Structure 1
Amino acid sequence: MRKILVTGASGFIGSAAARALLAAGVEVHGTSASGRAGPPGVIMHRCDLLDDTAVADLLAELRPSHLLHVAWDVTHGTYWTSPANFLWLAAGARLLERFLALGGQRAVGVGSCAEYAWTEAETYTEVSSPLAPATPYGRCKLALSEGFAAAGMMGLSTAWARLFFPYGPGDGEQRFIPSMLARLRAGEAFDTTSGIQRRDFIHIDDVGAALAALTRSSVTGAVNIGTGEGVALREVALELAASLGAEPGLLRFGALPIRPGDPLSLIADASRLRHEVGFTSAISWREGLRRLSQPRG
């Protein structure tokens, strides 16, 4: 690997991957539309990926050998159904086309478990689980994954990372774990569902390391990024409250209904990640919550 471009390298997922790639001794360049700083050591470039000219100029200047495409609009509360998904689908396809035309060697895109058909399955596998997204976000991610697969037929080494449930420092404050953490720290009640839903939570440091390992490998096709283990939301909430020394009564289970269509289980089959990429998550969900609950400096 000569040089890698990580799109969205100042964001939650992109910065974790960039840090892991740096630790592996790779020359890492990153993009940020706002000019926000990336991790120390990453060479950042202010570039709006929705601006075709800016993207073309940056790729022509850098000529990276590898591409890790993370950037997408994930504005909380809107991204599932936002028309902006179409813009990011088109931008991703153009980015991939230009990277291929300039002689790029390997490209990895970051997708989502939202690409799967949410059924009664306990786990989801890249090999046999049906793909039928229930949201525009999932549909557009799946469409871009097909673009990566098509580029693979044109001679480019490509892989597609289906991310499950990342959490950790830097996560959006409105998401489940950070919003609960903020309420409990403030001694305020946290309204939630019954908490019977099981999810595959993976610590952001493991996400970054997994993406770096996948990018540096020769594995092609879809690869789930998860731990392969599920935990009930209720258990996560109780563990976080215990780690903080918070009153369990602040957790108001059943105060909110489970959303229609919300699957009871979303757990990755992590076999490809473990056996082909050679990566196994190192941070258990309990250890991850313990780290989050430590006093802030």
Structure 2
Amino acid sequence: MSPRSGKTVVTGGCGFIGAHLCAHLMQRGEDVVVVDDLSVGSRGNLEALGLGAVDVQTVDIRDVESLTRLLRKSRPEEVIHLAAVHFIPLCESDPLNAIRTNVEGTQALLQACTAAGSIHSVVLASSGAVYRPDTTAHRETDALGPTDTYGHTKQWAEQLAGLFHSRTGIAVGIARLFNTFGPGETNPHFIPSVILQLMQGNTIRVGTLSTRRDYVYVSDVVAAIAQLGDVCRERGLLTCNVGREEAVEGSRIVELIGRALGRDVKVVVDRQRVRADDRPVLASDCRLAHLELDWHAQTGLAEGLEAALERPLGAGVALA
């Protein structure tokens, strides 16, 4: 399937996944407009990928009127919605802000898309956190049952997107992303935290290393998101998991990073870093993405971690 020739708006385009997505879309020859309030993201993340000239519009994702004006002026064919509060500790410490951004912000954007008159498709970045905990890999038909604020906000956003599709007929793609990693993360997640600690010495402080997560490299994620935007126009409403289909313990991540940096790692358990609702396993079954999107994760775990070493955190981000 050939890429679109029209314009694409990317919300949260100055963030981690957003900046990489903009690079991917522009490499396909697409015209991109970024919407970002720069509260977490930074133009520096685009500049780090050679995208300093991208059109960045500083707009609050909850501002329906400003979003509507922007979409009517730019006339995009597609909107890819990444803007959200992603870091789970922030969602738990300020759940009201997470709900306002992730849920109210999604509804505001969908209302603006309805009013714009040019939109053919909307892609929503959701999460594997929407699923009910299980020790086996999740398929898209599995029961939903989030265990934390972030997961609930993503489930609600999915429901709003489904309602938007049924009322407007505009195509919707929902990408349930698993643990995305790579250069330039804009939140101090587990992998950049371990990298930066080991760059400073042999000792790391962690909450737990026994949980298993499905780590998928950012270039694979943005390829899936872009392809979902193409395919959902034919399907109407399509939800796909995006993962590497391998649940890896935190101890394995530490081992690989330590080996890459030549460190004799000493682990110190910090109980303050343990999350109360941390599920033991979160893994994806991506057979639907293989079938519908002709997409497979291409980057191995060790290869992706090597790349992440070059720039663990994005512009202006500090290690928590």
1:82 aligned to 95, 99, 107, which one? 95
Q: Deviation string for 1:83-115 (max 9, x for gaps)?
A: 012212112112112212323110011111111
Correspondence for 2:34: 30
Name the aligned partner's letter for residue 158 of structure 1.
Answer: V
2:63 aligned to 27, 51, 54, which one? 51
Q: Deviation string for 1:109-153 (max 9, x for gaps)?
A: 11111111123x3211111x1111112222121111111112222
Distance in 2 of aligned mates of 1:58 and 1:294: 35
Correspondence for 1:71: 83
| RMSD (CA atoms) | 2.2
Correspondence for 1:94: 108
| Secondary structure in structure 2 of the residue aligned to 1:79 | helix
User: Which deviates more from structure 2 when the two are superposed, residues 227-236 or residues 186-195?
Assistant: 186-195
Correspondence for 2:289: 273
Correspondence for 1:234: 251
Distance in 1 of aligned mates of 2:170 and 2:187: 37
* Cα separation, partners in 2 of 1:33 and 1:5, compared to 1, 3 Å: same
Correspondence for 2:174: 160
Higher helix share: 2
1:291 aligned to 278, 299, 307, which one? 307
Contact kept? 2:202, 2:264, Cα under 8 Å: no
Is 2:246 aligned against 1:245?
no
In the TM superposition, what is the alpha-carbon distance from 1:251 to its structure 2 partner? 2.7
In the TM superposition, what is the alpha-carbon distance from 1:280 to its structure 2 partner? 0.9
Is 2:22 aligned against 1:18?
yes
In the TM superposition, what is the alpha-carbon distance from 1:195 to its structure 2 partner? 2.0
Correspondence for 1:169: 183
In the TM superposition, what is the alpha-carbon distance from 1:259 to its structure 2 partner? 3.9
Once the two structures are aligned, what percentage of the paired residues are identical? 25
Distance in 1 of aligned mates of 2:192 and 2:131: 25
* Cα separation, partners in 2 of 1:45 and 1:173, compared to 1, 3 Å: closer
Name the aligned partner's letter for residue 262 of structure 2.
Answer: G
Name the aligned partner's letter for residue 77 of structure 2.
Answer: S
User: Which deviates more from structure 2 when the two are superposed, residues 286-295 or residues 154-163?
Assistant: 286-295
Correspondence for 1:195: 209
In the TM superposition, what is the alpha-carbon distance from 1:226 to its structure 2 partner? 0.8
Is 2:298 aligned against 1:282?
yes
Q: Deviation string for 1:225-246 (max 9, x for gaps)?
A: 1111221111111111011100
Correspondence for 1:122: 136
Contact kept? 1:19, 1:208, Cα under 8 Å: no
Name the aligned partner's letter for residue 62 of structure 1.
Answer: S
Is 2:160 aligned against 1:143?
no
2:145 aligned to 111, 121, 132, which one? 132
Name the aligned partner's letter for residue 169 of structure 2.
Answer: G
1:225 aligned to 242, 253, 272, which one? 242
User: Which deviates more from structure 2 when the two are superposed, residues 36-45 or residues 135-144?
Assistant: 36-45
1:106 aligned to 121, 130, 145, which one? 121
Contact kept? 1:6, 1:69, Cα under 8 Å: yes
Contact kept? 2:148, 2:277, Cα under 8 Å: no
Distance in 2 of aligned mates of 1:181 and 1:144: 32
Q: Which runs of 4+ in 1 moved over 3 A?
A: 254-261, 293-296
Distance in 1 of aligned mates of 2:311 and 2:222: 24
User: Which deviates more from structure 2 when the two are superposed, residues 23-32 or residues 37-46?
Assistant: 37-46
| Secondary structure in structure 1 of the residue aligned to 2:89 | coil
Contact kept? 2:214, 2:282, Cα under 8 Å: yes
Distance in 2 of aligned mates of 1:227 and 1:100: 34
TM-score normalised by length of structure 2:
0.84
| Secondary structure in structure 2 of the residue aligned to 1:141 | helix
* Cα separation, partners in 2 of 1:51 and 1:194, compared to 1, 3 Å: closer
Name the aligned partner's letter for residue 14 of structure 1.
Answer: G
Q: Mark the runs of 5 or more structure 1 residues left unpaired by the alignment.
A: none
| Secondary structure in structure 1 of the residue aligned to 2:14 | coil
